[in-house]
Amino acid sequence: MRTMARELFRNPIVWSCYVLITYALTVPFLTRNVTNSLPLGYYWCTPHQTMDLLPAGTLVLFTPTLRLMVWLDATVPVLHAPPPWLKQVERQEGDELYVVGTHPASIDSRLFGPIPRASVHAVCRALWTWGGATHE
């Protein structure tokens, strides 16, 4: 099943449709984090379409670039979560953001570097979380 999902997202047409649907979100929405990068739970997200500064600590929902996804598939031997990803802004440099998870083994900017600011779809806040990010 995981291999099928991975192959599906390698298809440029599927990837393009996914990105278009993700960008079409224009109203606040609820998302769920099921990875150990941040505390498990539900997050309330508000679409972010301005170029305002995103301060450190801001939670953002973003879609990694296709180039990044292909690089991760070739580099990281574990299955990563399908996009969009929820991460915390560490810092901003121009039009690039460094995003991290709270788990030391999180797949984030410590591994792949900065992301384009334009890939951010929403700013999120924790609504209901439990257990914290596990560090197993």
Which CATH number is 21's domain given?
Answer: 2.10.109.10
In a domain, 136, yes or no: no
Q: How many CB atoms lie within 10 A of CB 120?
A: 22
List 33's β-bridge partners, or say none: 41
Rounded Cα distance between 36 and 133, Å, is 5
In a domain, 134, yes or no: no
Per-residue pLDDT of the chain (136 residues; tens, 9 = 90+): 455 556 666 677 766 666 666 555 557 888 888 888 899 999 999 988 766 788 999 999 998 888 888 888 888 766 667 778 999 999 999 889 999 999 888 889 998 899 999 899 899 999 999 876 544 4
pTM: 0.73
Which domain covers residue 45, as residue numbers? 2-129
Is 62 within 8 Å of 120 (Cβ atoms)? Answer: yes
In a domain, 35, yes or no: yes
Rounded Cα distance between 76 and 54, Å, is 28
Q: How many CB atoms lie within 10 A of CB 100?
A: 19
